[in-house]
Structure 1
Amino acid sequence: MFSGDMAGRWRELHGSEHWDGMLDPLDVDLRRCLIAYGEMIMATYEAFIGESRSPNAGLCRYPRADLFRRVDLSHPGWYAATRYIYATASAEVHGKVLLRPLCRQGCGRECNWMGYVAVATDEGAAALGRRDIVVAWRGTQRALEWVADLKLTLASAAGILGPEGADGSDPSVHRGYLSLYTSADEGSKLSKQSARMQVLTEVARLMDKYKDEETSITVVGHSLGATLATLNAVDIVANAYNKSPDSDSRVPVTATVFGSPRTGDRDFRDVFHRLPSLRMLRVRNRPDRIPHYPPVGYADVGVELLIDTRRSPFLKPHGNESQSHDLECHLHGIAGWQGDHRGFELVVDRDVALVNKFDDCLADEYPVPVGWKVHNNKNMVKGPDGRWVLEDHDPDYDEEEEGDNL
């Protein structure tokens, strides 16, 4: 999906000029760039084990070395996953336990795989024009993450804004999103460190490793993952994780988010916008109501790219929130959106069958089953004794060993 002069234009595509003149009409290289990063978010959904009856529910199906080979990426050899991210979710809202889950830790909290940190390989760096570090966050999948979505009250963001927030204001963010980002669980090997520190530690390691190369940091996410990407991007810049230890120069940090709820208040927005090496492009689908949530006390952040997938002749009339919010539907819209006063044309030849990967989005005239992206027999495997067993997790990958390295 990366092509054209994207290597020569990467700073412009990552918002060096705040995408001025690139959004209407939507620049074709920017379309390809957004779709490619969207596919990296989609990898978190495809690899996530969501079957509630599985003993591996909430984990990743594949080890890091196999992740991009096993999911649908246009250029699977251009990046390598270097660290998985795990987040702790709590069942409490205002001191009350809303759910008592049968979680792996056996308590009112659980640890789930939320995404990954990756870096461009030598092949990828040559094609991209720099060594790109990517942090990808997935959206809500588990019950306790829905509980986090409900923690609507604001909480101080001072802990992630560092000295940048010390201007007399009191920037605040959504309490539930902040909790997912910053909570740790001493009882869990996988989230003994918070998701925040897992990412920052890995970004610092990669920045030091590639300190002699031209580097960028790209933080991407969809839905809940978009809010975590917002927190993560501002955290990286405000606390100077976008520079190597022996240099004062900062590398650009760009957040690319899809279907993002609002993350913080106006003071948080103001801090975000005044950080010089930080940019955000926020893709919003007009019929999607999630980006208007929460409606009171919050402010939008970044530059907005507004699309409207209702214009697509390939999709059925939008009748539910799931379709409007679907990530593949967003990527389809980016491939063909021509603006409010023009038609819809697939400038990027992205297969329309992908919009039915998980949801019922494609018009009925197209013979593509709904939710066709399933693993063979839903990972039920017939053993030598003739009995069927669930094998939805790579037997050679042990998350507990990874936890020992956190």
Structure 2
Amino acid sequence: MAALHPQCGGASSTARRVRCRAASRTIAAAAATATSTACSPVEAAAPAPRRAPARRSTAATVAGMWRQVQGCNDWEGLIDPVAGEVHPVLRAEVARYGDLVSPCYKAFDLDPSSRRHLNCKYGRERMLDEVGMPGAGYVITRYIYAAADVTFPTMEPSTAGRGRWIGYVAVSTDDMTRRLGRRDVLVSFRGTVTPAEWVANLMSSLEPARFDPCDPRPDVKVESGFLSLYTSADKTCRFGGAGSCREQLLREVSRLVDACGKDRPGEDVSVTLAGHSMGSALALLFAYDLAELGLNQHGLNRDASGCRVPVTVFSYGGPRVGNSAFKDRCDELGVKVLRVANVRDPVTMLPGAILNEGTKGFLAGWGATGDCYTHVGVELALDFLSLRDPGSVHDLGAYVASVKAEACGKVPNAAEDGGILAMAMELVGGQSAAASAWKEIAALQMGGLVQSLGF
């Protein structure tokens, strides 16, 4: 049974945890004049002071407050940690972006006999229609592939080093752009499905990201398995997935943002990265990469107000990605992350089961050394559980259903409403959602133990 989190506690130094309650309650919303005011680069980089609660306007729209929805003020005024309420416009956008991740599972071809094995079942032009989202409001411009640099004894030689379809890049249509108040460049990532990705989850040792060759920052470290998926190149170049996931993303997103600046001068632009589970880790790595390289700051990438193009991550059931230096650097660069996390989902607590932001001080007191995994961003906590399907605590469908149910005061049954992970894993070998989810959890847990022990 799904429920709302009864008590989330106070805010920590690394993330704010809030509770979701029925949207019919009053929310501490931004003042009406603030919803139409763009955030300056300085505002985007610095935390905003706590604003006095104000009754939400019934006329509030995403177009009128899109910068706040994208986190320019760290969602202050849209999320009330005291009353546990979320602005309905933000809630709707969180659900919408979650829905836009689901095609990455629904369209993934896991049939070994198919010529599109490990690719998307459909062409870009009709993929959203085929998965039941004809009115999504986005045009897909490129599919993205990731290849884990891992092998194991049972892996077929034909699949070693091959890129797997991991997600897509899209840009909002003119109609959706008018509704959103800006041109939105979207990157959507799925979570772990293939055996190579399970193995990559075991590689939880921390290593320097080193994305900027001019300023490698060796202290900024991320999980090696996620880094491998992000930076390893496809050795087969099948389906046009040339280069690493990173190279594909940098080329396409830079192209789209530059094109928006040239073809539509004065139009506001945003870059939104949405991912589930492992996909949320890739989304965060890409957001950090964009910000570290300054690709969200150069001349053509400034909107009508002269602000930087905002880069925002909507994470669903995401694990920890890097150490405290990584978190601090993301904050310094103004990377905005809204972490939608089920408090019963163990994946959100990994890796770093022992060495994490909560135990760092305690371990330091005992003279323990080593890097501690640390979450990035603002946490929006949900609480749902189905006794019939325990694995659904990590299911994307259950996450989205829970967010949507809050808008109408209902409590979803995760076993009925969240079946995306179960569907994907049935294609692998008839595994239930519970078996597949706990497989990922076990991999992350074992990797976290290896990291903690220093092996």
Query: CA contact under 8 A between 2:312 and 2:337: conserved in structure 1?
Result: yes
- CA shift in 2, pair 1:247/1:345, >3 Å: closer
Whether 2:296 is the aligned partner of 1:242: answer yes
- CA shift in 2, pair 1:244/1:71, >3 Å: farther
Counterpart CA distance in 2 for 1:356 and 1:34 is 16
Question: What SS does the corresponding residue of 1:178 show, helix, strand or coil?
Answer: helix
Match of 2:397 among 328, 333, 336: 328
1:359-378 matches, within 5 Å, as none
Instruction: Tell me the equivalent position of 1:317.
Output: 387
Instruction: Tell me the equivalent position of 2:161.
Output: 109
Counterpart CA distance in 1 for 2:178 and 2:135 is 13
Counterpart CA distance in 2 for 1:46 and 1:358 is 7
Q: Deviations over 1:127-167 (max 9, x none)?
A: 111100001111011111111111111111122x566764x
Q: Deviations over 1:43-91 (max 9, x none)?
A: 1111111234434221001111112211233732x11000110111233
C-alpha displacement of 1:335? 2.0
C-alpha displacement of 1:218? 0.2
Instruction: Tell me the equivalent position of 2:172.
Output: 120
1:104-183 matches, within 5 Å, as 106=158, 108-159=160-211, 161=212, 166=217, 170-183=219-232
Instruction: Tell me the equivalent position of 1:269.
Output: 327
- CA shift in 2, pair 1:236/1:317, >3 Å: same
Q: Deviations over 1:215-241 (max 9, x none)?
A: 000001000001000101111111122
Instruction: Tell me the equivalent position of 1:196.
Output: 246
Instruction: Tell me the equivalent position of 1:27.
Output: 87
Instruction: Tell me the equivalent position of 1:394.
Output: none
Question: What SS does the corresponding residue of 2:340 show, helix, strand or coil?
Answer: strand
Query: CA contact under 8 A between 2:163 and 2:236: conserved in structure 1?
Result: no
Q: Which amino acid in 2 is paired with 1:44?
A: C
C-alpha displacement of 1:31? 1.2
Instruction: Tell me the equivalent position of 2:376.
Output: 301
Q: Deviations over 1:154-213 (max 9, x none)?
A: 111122x566764xx611101010011011134424343111111111111111111012
C-alpha displacement of 1:352? 8.2
C-alpha displacement of 1:329? 0.7
Query: CA contact under 8 A between 1:158 and 1:170: conserved in structure 2?
Result: no
Query: CA contact under 8 A between 1:207 and 1:243: conserved in structure 2?
Result: no
- CA shift in 2, pair 1:219/1:28, >3 Å: same
Counterpart CA distance in 2 for 1:151 and 1:222 is 19
Q: Which amino acid in 2 is paired with 1:152?
A: S
Question: What SS does the corresponding residue of 2:256 show, helix, strand or coil?
Answer: helix
Q: Which amino acid in 1 is paired with 2:278?
A: L
Whether 2:280 is the aligned partner of 1:221: answer no
Gaps of 5+ in 2: 1-58, 356-371, 428-455
Instruction: Tell me the equivalent position of 2:35.
Output: none
Query: CA contact under 8 A between 1:39 and 1:72: conserved in structure 2?
Result: no
C-alpha displacement of 1:121? 1.1
Given the two structures, how large is their TM-score scaled by the length of structure 1?
0.76
- Residue range with higher mean Cα deviation, 14-23 or 113-122: 14-23
Instruction: Tell me the equivalent position of 1:368.
Output: none
Instruction: Tell me the equivalent position of 1:393.
Output: none
Query: CA contact under 8 A between 1:88 and 1:109: conserved in structure 2?
Result: yes
Counterpart CA distance in 2 for 1:84 and 1:246 is 24
- CA shift in 2, pair 1:12/1:247, >3 Å: closer
Between structures 1 and 2, the one with greater helix share: 2
Query: CA contact under 8 A between 2:392 and 2:414: conserved in structure 1?
Result: no
Query: CA contact under 8 A between 1:173 and 1:264: conserved in structure 2?
Result: yes
Query: CA contact under 8 A between 2:237 and 2:243: conserved in structure 1?
Result: no
Query: CA contact under 8 A between 1:131 and 1:214: conserved in structure 2?
Result: yes
| Pairs aligned (count) | 338
- CA shift in 2, pair 1:247/1:307, >3 Å: closer
Gaps of 5+ in 1: 93-97, 311-315, 339-343, 361-370, 376-406
Whether 2:304 is the aligned partner of 1:255: answer no
Instruction: Tell me the equivalent position of 2:336.
Output: 279
C-alpha displacement of 1:18? 0.6
Counterpart CA distance in 2 for 1:7 and 1:346 is 27
- CA shift in 2, pair 1:308/1:53, >3 Å: same
Counterpart CA distance in 2 for 1:283 and 1:71 is 23
Counterpart CA distance in 1 for 2:234 and 2:421 is 34
- CA shift in 2, pair 1:204/1:259, >3 Å: same
Question: What SS does the corresponding residue of 1:280 show, helix, strand or coil?
Answer: strand
Given the two structures, how large is their TM-score scaled by the length of structure 2?
0.69
Counterpart CA distance in 2 for 1:143 and 1:267 is 31
Q: Which amino acid in 2 is paired with 1:215?
A: V
Q: What RMSD over aligned residues (CA atoms) do the two structures have, in Å?
A: 2.8
C-alpha displacement of 1:332? 1.6
Counterpart CA distance in 1 for 2:65 and 2:213 is 32
Identity of aligned residues (%): 34
Bigger RCO of structures 1 and 2 (CA < 8 A, at least 6 apart): 2
